Amino acid sequence: MMFSKFKGLRNSAILPVMSLLFLGLSACSQESAEVAEPAATAPASSTTAATIQSGVTDENLANAANSGEEWLSYGRDPGETRFSPLDQVNYSNVQNLGVAWTYDTGSFRGLEATPLVHDGIMYATASWSVVFAVDARTGEELWRYDPQVDRSLGWKACCDVVNRGVAIYDDKVFAGIIDGRLVALDAATGDVVWSEVTVDQSKPYTITGAPRIADGKVLIGNGGAELGTRGYLTAYNPDNGDIDWRFWVVPGNPADGYENEDVEFAAATWAGNWWEAGGGGNPWDSIIYDPELRLVYVGTGNGSPWSHEHRSEGFGDNLYLSSIVALNVDDGSVAWYYQTTPADNFDYTAVQPLMLTEITINGLPRKVVMQAPKNGFFYVLDAETGDLIYADPYAQVTWASGVDLESGRPIETPQARYDDAISFLTPGPSGAHNWHPMSFSPDTGLLYVPTMQGGAFPYSYDENWEVESAGWNLGIGMGTMVDKAVRPDEEYAGGTGPVYDSPGVLLAWDPVARAPRWVKEYDFTINGGTLATAGNLVFQGGADGYFRAFTADFGELVWEADLGVGIMAAPMTYELDGIQYVSVLVGWGGSSGLIGPNSSGAYKPEGRLWTFRLGGSEIIPVEGMPLPQLTAIEFNDDPAVLAHGEDMYTTHCMLCHGAGGASGGALADLRYAAPATYDIIQNVVREGAFAGRGMPNLGHLLSEDDVDAVKNWLLSLRAGLME
């Protein structure tokens, strides 16, 4: 399975487009349909009303691993192992899973949250940062909070207006809002207790991650490194929203002074005017906390812009980009850091899920922090010191031939720096693993990692890049769209890692043997997060809309159910009144859901929260909406006009409205637009007529003739659908 060649991965004529499919890029905010009224369906027979019995304490959180009844934080326990000791549902009876209840979320976009359960109440989030609480026995809605995000700001969200969930502490529920707010809600009523704006809202910051609790503080980061921001993590007082401390991932303009010694230390690893494009490093997902060591671990993001040459004149490691950083919980100061990708040149974030647990190394138990970040290497670090113990490729890697365990630095291949020619590199910007949570079973000693091998991505330095204040800041040429030669085959060298036979795999990784134990291959690249249980089970949803269970030890498929809609989120499990439930949020979207096809095949399906139990009712997949009836509309079929229209669409519309004119399902499929919409298309595109629904005004990018050409090209596709 060792790396041998990657020539075959990069010979397709459609590669630039395919690469974009895997890129994790878009700036889209349009809502495809009005948000529907949510409704609980198929309630179970229980008559017990859910009420808040007690607030969640630091002690509850610290001991969360010991009992399977509740699920109190994003990754279930402080180390976020996502392992449940429940075994009522197990490998021998999982075939009897049926529906306990469902809750229709009112969302038609990506659902990424892990629900939490406390005192018989389930808390979760939907797109546009909507928070809801339901009775965990019946799915009956208890309250719903819509933060009323201005839809015209959705363009700031690189990868859909998603949200990964809430935190609970004391009697409050905390949620990050896509526009940069952090809100504290009354857990019993959903009423706002306090709300703080955590970012400069004039800049393209977003929040998609779940807040975490550490030593009585609420922690939240932000995203925005693709568009040009300076990333940071902030600790808030849960009672009143006061800032306790802030960790700046990258330095700002030295002329403004350094906020603290850690920032000053980092600044020595930068050059040029890096602050003009923000520098990036945004920690938009992983945060874990060790109450014993009193350390907060945070994963940091990629550089802004992507190109190291543009960002820092090709100089320095650019701390603390693409790093695992341990912070002292009392003041947010850096205890240690480990940089996975020095001088990031690839969008190789290290924000991917972090895990803290004990494994046996050289015969002795050792507390470690583990991560499978985008760059393709699986890292095992000493949790107390940050010393690198292992770094092994878990997927094909061509930007480096390995990691030197002495220095802790990757050994870059010659093609990793692409300033003079276009380099095709693996992993691409969406990584060998992204935010989709991994889990760890202490019974098997295995990690279950949603792994991707989406093909080699063409990285190309763009000499013409300049800082863009309200748009993308990558500094690269988006595939082969720069006037540059592709690096000749003979200039590629090195590379490492297992090569899989499919674009998406469920990888059971043995961190002690430092190798895959078993692998399940899927037809689609991006699949859901995982849950491991003491029932010798691993649960995972697929992009194809199937929810599956495998035996944790050998990876045997023991159950699957068609839910009808692609699954991204991680499942969770809990126990109430002696019954084990398994829940998962199902809604397709994210960057791939905007640009790529809806792999489940359903047209604009509503996202649903599903909960299963043994002996539950029949599983009936969600159906999408019926395809609209098409009426013929005349168009100009001049080939030159159509070609120009396709070109303009691909450049300015595709990342949101889908490749080939076809929406991935999350946003409007323009081929099916109402005739009246075509009548006003100039107003929509060039004057912002649908800005309130999230379609930005692109008048500065597209002329009247350009829009007319796009319209004619789309109408030609529409005519093709009617044949």
Task: Compare residues 114 and 302 and give the one whose CB is closer to Ca ion.
Answer: 302
Burial label for 639, CB within 10 Å (0-12, 13-18, 19+), is: exposed
Span between the terminal Cα atoms of the chain, in Å = 46
Best CA proximity match to 143, nearest among 82, 186, 85: 186
The distance from CA 455 to its chain's CA centroid, rounded to whole angstroms, is: 19
Best CA proximity match to 309, nearest among 286, 277, 285: 277
Helix (H) or strand (E) holding 715, with range, is helix 704-722
Query: What is the rounded CA–CA span in Å between residue 121 and residue 127?
Result: 20
Residues 443-502 that bind Ca ion (CB under 5 A): none
**At its nearest, how many Å lie between Ca ion and the CB of residue 132?**
29
The Cβ-side half-sphere exposure at 538, using a 13 Å CA radius, reads 35
Mind spelling out the 3-state secondary structure of 43-81?
CCCCCCCCCCCCCECHHHHHCHHHCCCCECCCCCCCCCC
Task: Compare residues 160 and 347 and give the one whose CB is closer to Ca ion.
Answer: 347
Q: Is 669 in the site for Ca ion (CB under 5 A)?
A: no
Query: What is the rounded CA–CA span in Å between residue 604 and residue 543?
Result: 15
Task: Compare residues 221 and 386 and give the one whose CB is closer to Ca ion.
Answer: 221
Q: Is 302 in the site for Ca ion (CB under 5 A)?
A: yes
Q: Is 114 in the site for Ca ion (CB under 5 A)?
A: no
3-state SS assignment for residue 218: strand
Task: Compare residues 347 and 708 and give the one whose CB is closer to Ca ion.
Answer: 347
Task: Compare residues 44 and 227 and give the one whose CB is closer to Ca ion.
Answer: 227
What tokens appear for 23 in the block? 């890129």
**At its nearest, how many Å lie between Ca ion and the CB of residue 683?**
33
**At its nearest, how many Å lie between Ca ion and the CB of residue 302?**
4
Task: Compare residues 347 and 392 and give the one whose CB is closer to Ca ion.
Answer: 347
**At its nearest, how many Å lie between Ca ion and the CB of residue 280?**
8
Residues 694-723 that bind Ca ion (CB under 5 A): none
Number of residues that bind Ca ion (CB under 5 A): 2
Which stretch in 294-302, 414-422, 430-438, 642-650 sits in contact with Ca ion by CB under 5 A?
294-302
Which stretch in 118-126, 295-303, 406-414, 477-485 sits in contact with Ca ion by CB under 5 A?
295-303
347 is a catalytic site residue: yes
**At its nearest, how many Å lie between Ca ion and the CB of residue 455?**
18
CB-based contacts of 14: which residues, under 8 Å, 6+ apart? none
CB-based contacts of 153: which residues, under 8 Å, 6+ apart? 29, 178, 179
**At its nearest, how many Å lie between Ca ion and the CB of residue 590?**
13
What tokens appear for 338 in the block? 């480990």
**At its nearest, how many Å lie between Ca ion and the CB of residue 601?**
29
**At its nearest, how many Å lie between Ca ion and the CB of residue 62?**
32
For residue 711, report the phi and psi dihedrals to the nearest 5 degrees. -60, -45
Query: What is the rounded CA–CA span in Å between residue 642 and residue 688?
Result: 24
Mind spelling out the 3-state secondary structure of 536-564?
CEEEEECCCCEEEEEECCCCCEEEEEECC
The per-type count for the chain, helices as H runs and strands as E runs, is 10, 40
What tokens appear for 557 in the block? 């498929």
CB-based contacts of 543: which residues, under 8 Å, 6+ apart? 504, 522, 524, 525, 526, 527, 528, 566, 567, 568, 588, 592, 599, 600
Task: Compare residues 446 and 656 and give the one whose CB is closer to Ca ion.
Answer: 656
Task: Compare residues 262 and 347 and give the one whose CB is closer to Ca ion.
Answer: 347
**At its nearest, how many Å lie between Ca ion and the CB of residue 375?**
12
Measured N-to-C along each axis, helices 704-722 and 639-652 cross at an angle, to the nearest 10 degrees, of: 100
Amino acid letter, 252: G
Query: What is the rounded CA–CA span in Å between residue 468 and residue 25?
Result: 16
Which stretch in 111-119, 228-236, 297-305, 467-475 sits in contact with Ca ion by CB under 5 A?
297-305
DSSP code string of 288-353: EEETTTTEEEEE---EESS-HHHHHTT-S--TTTTEEEEEETTT--EEEEEESSTT--S-----SP
CA distances 689 to 53, 348, 465, Å, are: 49, 37, 30
Tally of residues, the chain: 723
Cα angle, residue 345 at apex, residues 344 and 346 outer, rounded to 5°: 100
Region of residue 19 (left: phi > 0; alpha: psi -120 to 50; beta: else): alpha
Task: Compare residues 304 and 451 and give the one whose CB is closer to Ca ion.
Answer: 304
**At its nearest, how many Å lie between Ca ion and the CB of residue 278?**
12
Catalytic member of 317, 347, 553, 669:
347
**At its nearest, how many Å lie between Ca ion and the CB of residue 518?**
30
Task: Compare residues 230 and 686 and give the one whose CB is closer to Ca ion.
Answer: 230
Residues 339-358 that bind Ca ion (CB under 5 A): 347
C-beta of residue 419 within 8 angstroms of C-beta of residue 306: no
Query: What is the rounded CA–CA span in Å between residue 127 and residue 485?
Result: 41
Task: Compare residues 46 and 300 and give the one whose CB is closer to Ca ion.
Answer: 300
Binding site for Ca ion (CB under 5 A): 302, 347
- Catalytic site residues? 347
